Structure 1
Amino acid sequence: MTVEIKGSSPIILCLILATMATILVSATACGGDDDDDDDMAGDDDCKDGFVDKDGYVDCGGGDDDTDEELDDDDDDTIVDDDTTDEPALKVGATRVDVSPAETDMLIMGGYDVVLSEEKARRTTGIHDPLYATAVAFENPDDPPVIMLNFDMVGMIITDIDKIREGIAEQLEGVDAEDVVVSSSHSHATPDGVGIWGVIVPPMSGRDEDYIDQLVGGGIQAGVTAWNAREPATLAAATGDFEELHYNSIVGDENAITDDTLTVLVARDTSGHPIASVMNWGCHPMVMGPQNSLVSADFAGAYYKFMDEEIGGVNMFVNGALGASVHPHNLDDGFEIGSGRDWGSWEDVDNYGRDLADATQDLIDGATPVEDTTIKLHHRTVSAPVGNPFFAYAGNGRLIPREVPPIGEVGTTNMTAFSIGEVRLGTIPGELVPTIGVAVREMMGGEHTMLVNLGNDWIGYIMTEEQFGSIPYLYNTLLSAGPKVGTTVMDNYMEIFGAAGEAWETTAP
């Protein structure tokens, strides 16, 4: 069809053409209105009349186009509804294999102390890999947190500080104090402390080349997890699982277990798991001292089943395992120390499966963590050394760290942090459940995690009454002193008390 305009003035012609252009633009914009009320499909909503990033001029109504890559609700209102609807929290996770070489023949940690090199347990191969597992959390305007857990019998503050500082050096906005490093305490791993070497003459159980490998792997894991951050939602659950462990102390009717199992799971915006962090207290020692193959013990089996069944990166963080909580197998009921042989590799798998099943049951009923505000409190703590053996083992004889003489004060550190109603606190050793239960009560929050062997290892941490008593003689040998347990309690009383108003909890 041809339209002929006769006798029209140039002004009228211009008005008609302008009207047709407006109609044409409106028609082409109806499939992609970016809610700036000017019917333009591009990101042309700038503030106060300025030209925006796409070179278009705002026609008024205010800046409601908050993400230039995404369109909004197409509702033609001036309300700022052009958002990604993504969670503010970001989570990243990874694992790095830190297994020693098959042929290294390193001294293993966990079982007794020895008086001759011939008696020291050495690795003869690898049954399953050892990992440095990292989960990173970032919430806008809050301190970041990177959790890093090693499948190791223990790691000391001198090495852990290298890891924390190494991660902080590579990541802008992350301080060393934002990194929490812990160990699973598997007894089928190389000695990362030094105390399981030879007592007289002193020979450390550590292999410094392998320690360097651990430090490098830990830094790699922490940095990689941080760089893998993506928008995430959290859910948490807590349950009691007393049937999976028991307290092996004989002669103390008050020896208890802390049966609390807490899990925190992070999912991406599609609902797929990014990571989970599970906390529960038990020695990973289904395999006994007869074993010489490197293994994460039941923690390794737990990873395997969790990875297969829910996906993501799954972390096990040990809870109040001290003095001395051992595994109890649901399938055949073996109890370490009951006169039976130690467990088999089949028992290790069965135990890991049982623990994974218990965790997944909790995840199925987990409640969303709506408030993802992160708060963090870090401090140096001190306590007098009260164990002659610990004082002897330090200062490079067995353990390459400064340990003062008996009666003088030694230092370590503690970190408490929260993600909403999920509260976590590090323990610089193996905490007895008696103290663990009391610490949980003062932490407040709906879900609590005691990160044992966190940021240090100073041995068993027990009450003054337990230290030196007959049922705890072996545990006393591997403890810094009788005042350490009181120090932990006092400091957490101060931490949670001082932070109580901010965290909306009241310490008793």
Structure 2
Amino acid sequence: MKATSYVKIGTIAVIGILLGSGLPSAHMGLHTDYFTGDTPAEKASDAPSDRAKEMGQLLERSAEGALWVGMATVDITPDWAVLLPYGKAEPVTETYGDPCYVKALVLQVGDLRVALVEMDIIGIHLRDADAVKEVIAAETGISRDYIILAATHNHAYPRVTDRRAKDDKVRKLLAKRSAEVVKQAMEGMFPAKIGVGKRTLRRDIVNNREKLMGPTFTDLYVIRVDDMAGNVKGVFFDFGAHPVIFTKSWGPQRVGEVGPDWPGYARTYIELEYAKRMLWPRYNEAGKDYAPTIFTMFAEGAAGDQVGLGISGSRNELNGVRMHVKQAMTETIAGAVLEMIGEIKTKSELRMAFRAKVIPLSFRKDLPSGHPRRGRLEGTLIQTLTFDEETVIAMIPGEVVADVAIHFREHCGFENAILVTLANDAVGYIVTEAEVLEKVTYAGKGSRFDHTRARGIIGETIRMVNPAYTPDPPFDPERGFGAISGKVDYPGDEKVLVGVIRRPQYPSSAGPPFWGKRILVDDSGAYRIDNLLPGEKFVYVREVAKDYAPGKERGKDKRTFFYGRKVPVWAGETTEHVDFHIPEDFFETEVKSLKLEEDAVRVEGNTIRGRVQIAGKVRPNERITAGIHPYGAPYILTAIPLRNPYLVVPVEVAQKGKDGATGTFAFPNLPPGRYVLSFLLDVNKNAIPEPRVDVVGGPYMHMVFEVKE
């Protein structure tokens, strides 16, 4: 073994960073705290940390020589009824899919030994993470300083500390099983070879849930672990997509189930497919050390504003086979991992370096003095692990959004820039300071820490591995922001507000944080919204109760009149005359739904014709239209195909009675291609399809009609 170096350096100033210039999926049930981005149930985990004495100190250690690796998996599925983070607050014991696991990957070069522990949980705060590490350290002898404790961000597992549970059984279970898994990994350590690969997957595999057509980060990283004979023993893969697509508890009345979400399905797919590949080699080459399957570990990448559900035909197909989008997304990632395993070259000798630092952060100024969320350490822990000069694995204590991840990749100085997020702590969303100051996106508001949190966390992480890094200047609100102004003509007796969001998507009913930035109109109906970043914004108008007041928003929202109007914003300018007229008879349609009759659709040459079932009475002045859209385009969001149909035709309505009607339609002279259909009753008459304001049917991505001639 070659020499090991160790140095502990005093305080280094936190370096600034400008990281470029958001509404989430329906997080319904247990709502997010407006001030902090944390859920009320997490507040019991706040407590001072003994990390304060380490503030500003850099721990750095490296070694060069032969690599040894240990890997293990332990089940962490609770065997008692638990409360899940989302959905109906009712104890559950039901599970779906595979068990939830804690997995350990122990790496050793010389006398430098580091343990990476990944748990299928939503996240863990610094105090709780340190408590788990202390148990691991006591059982294994690895100092807590060299333990990485990360979460896959699984939303279908109970929180580590939940005041509703009135005990710490979950934390004790995680501590016990984490110690077991690291101990097992250390007992099975073997001389190994390692290699790293990277592939950028297609953009539409994920959906930027904050910004319409905003940046995405689809880098997939794979670490292959072999024995000295070249047999694959394990694979680590890192990708950024919120593990929420299989979670069953979206909605305050829905009881969830415990399960691992898409990372669990991806791990199982990789293990089974690889076992199938090795079935005959194991038989034909008897005596060679082929394992029945391989160890798999997933780490969450930059998923702060990314969900793995693009709304498009292209995501409903894989290799020409139509399937559910959840399956297509999971198999796309898992399939790429399997391909990359065969491409990655491994080596046994390397230089491995580990760095760690506790850095200061600042609480938000609008978080009042004495607020319970100020009870924790005003700082956090960051770590990096590097292999030679090629690969850096950065442990980030929060949810990183795409543009911040891109900045890290471009400035860290390594070919492979792997982000392991929600590691060692959960400080909230890590976004650009401009986005935090704008106060429009959910991620921008989703932390107790202020707009400098990315500057501190990402900037200092880059500095640890690239001392030559020069940060961008701080964001200048005076020069960087624009504004929108206008007037609302409203004849009602309630109050009206105008708001700005970044996507034309009806926000969740979970509460005001999901509604972007909004302001009450004055007595004349005028409004002005300042401090907006340049680009396209979507303006909404909403009716609220007479006793509505800022800070007392919950339960005061009534009707949404508009939300899909696109308005450009320019830095240093005001976009004026963004006006709205609300008629007295607004929203008085009796039509409840529009539903395509799949069996009634006919493709006749270059014409597609069919019927739509209309629930409710169609008034003489109401017009229903049908739209046709190319199948397979990367739409990302339902609103995009609805706004941009290839062709629109009227629906001929035949009223059957007060409870229903039938409509017929025909699209003539279509060019060859595959198509999907949609239907619209424009209730607010603004010529913009707005589901849940207008009556919309489709687009029906699972009903594909092909014109061949």
| Cα distance change on mapping 1:204 and 1:333 into 2, 3 Å | farther
Change (3 A) 1:348 1:453: same
What SS does the corresponding residue of 2:244 show, helix, strand or coil? coil
User: Distance in 1 between the 2:370 and 2:185 partners?
Assistant: 37
1:266 aligns with 2:245: no
Give the secondary-structure state (helix, strand or coil) at the position aligned to 1:144: strand
- Native 8 Å contact 2:431 2:443 kept in 1: no
Question: For residues 204 and 485 of structure 1, do their structure 2 counterparts lie closer, same or farther at Cα, with a shift above 3 Å needed?
Answer: farther
Give the 3 Å change call, closer, same or farther, for CA 320–415 of structure 1 in structure 2.
same
Query: What are the residue-to-residue correspondences of 1:256-335 with 2, within 5 Å?
Result: 256-288=215-247, 289=250, 290=254, 292-310=256-274, 311-322=293-304, 324-328=305-309
With the length of structure 2 as denominator, give the TM-score of the two structures.
Answer: 0.49
Task: Identify unmatched segments of 5+ residues in structure 2.
Answer: 1-64, 275-292, 317-322, 472-709
CA separation in 2, counterparts of 1:447 and 1:419? 10
2:192 matches 1:211? no
Structure 2 counterpart of 1:129: 99
For 2:458 and 2:338, the matched residues in 1 are separated by 32
Structure 1 residue 422, shift from structure 2 partner: 1.9
Corresponding residue to 2:84 among 108, 124, 127: 108
Identity of aligned residues (%): 20
Cα drift, residue 411 of structure 1: 1.5
In structure 2, relative to structure 1, the CA distance for the partners of 1:329 and 1:93 (3 Å cut) is farther
Distance 1:393 1:365 in 2: 51
Cα deviation per residue 1:453-473 (whole Å; 9 max; x = unaligned)?
Answer: 011111111112111535414
Inter-CA distance 258–305: structure 2 relative to 1 (3 Å threshold): same
Give the aligned partner of residue 384 of structure 2.
416
Does the residue aligned with 2:441 lie in a helix, a strand or coil? helix
Structure-1 separation of matches of 2:370 and 2:164? 14
1:51-66 equivalent positions in 2, closer than 5 A: none
What amino acid sits opposite 1:292 in the alignment? G
Secondary structure in structure 2 of the residue aligned to 1:88: strand
> What TM-score, normalized to structure 1?
0.68
Q: 2:266 aligns to what SS in structure 1?
A: helix
In the alignment, what sits opposite 2:501?
none
**Which amino acid in 2 is paired with 1:485?**
A
Mapped contact 2:160–2:168 kept (Cα < 8 A): no
Secondary structure of the corresponding residue to residue 434 of structure 2: coil
Equivalent-residue separation in structure 1 for 2:470 and 2:226 (angstroms): 32
Contact 1:182 1:453 in 2 (8 A): yes
User: Does structure 1 conserve the Cα–Cα contact (< 8 Å) formed by 2:106 and 2:182?
Assistant: yes
Aligned-partner residue type, residue 317 of structure 1: A
How far residue 389 of structure 1 moved from its aligned partner, in angstroms, is: 8.8
Question: Residues of 2 paired with 1:264 and 1:490: CA distance?
Answer: 25
Contact preservation (8 Å) 1:184, 1:317? yes
1: CA distance, partners of 2:311 / 2:179: 37
Q: Residues 159 and 170 of structure 2 are in contact (CA less than 8 Å); yes or no, is this contact kept in structure 1? A: no
For 1:334 and 1:319, locate their aligned partners in 2 and report how far apart those are by CA, in whole Å.
Answer: 21
**Is 488-497 or 447-456 further displaced after alignment?**
488-497
> CA separation of 1:485/1:283 partners in 2, compared to 1, >3 Å: closer, same or farther?
same
- Cross-structure match for 1:375: 353
2 CA distance for matches of 1:314 and 1:389?
Answer: 44
The Cα shift of 1:187 comes to 1.5
Deviations 1:410-436 (A, max 9, x none): 021000111222211111010111111
Q: Structure 1: which amino acid aligns with 2:382?
A: M
More helix by percentage:
1
Aligned to 2:342: 364
Q: Which amino acid aligns with 1:381?
A: I
Instruction: Give CA-to-partner distance per residue, 1:75-107, whole Å, 9 cap, x none.
Output: xxxxxxxxxxxx921111011100112x41x22
The one-letter amino acid paired with 1:325 is: Q
Aligned AA for 1:221?
V
Aligned letter for 1:403? R
- Shift in alpha-carbon separation, 1:239–1:291, aligned structure 2, 3 A: farther
Aligned to 2:152: 184
Give the C-alpha shift of residue 303 in structure 1.
1.2
- CA shift for structure 1 position 492: 1.8
Report the Cα offset of residue 232 of structure 1.
0.7
Which letter does structure 1 place at the counterpart of 2:421? N
Q: Judging changes above 3 Å, is the alpha-carbon distance between structure 1 residues 220 and 472 closer, same or farther for their aligned structure 2 residues?
A: same
Distance 1:268 1:275 in 2: 9
**Which residue does 1:245 correspond to in 2?**
206
Local SS of the residue matching 1:359: helix
Across the two proteins, how many residue pairs are aligned to each other? 374
Alpha carbons of 1:389 and 1:491: their partners in 2 closer, same or farther (altered >3 Å)?
Answer: same
Mapped partners of 2:189, 2:261: distance in 1? 29
In structure 2, the residue matched to 1:458 is 427
Deviation at 1:331, TM superposition (A): 9.3
Q: Supply the distance in 1 between the matched residues of 2:340 and 2:368 (Cα, whole angstroms).
A: 42
Give the distance between the partners of 2:315 and 2:371, measured in 1 at CA: 37
Q: Distance in 2 between matches of 1:484 and 1:491?
A: 10
Larger strand fraction of residues: 2
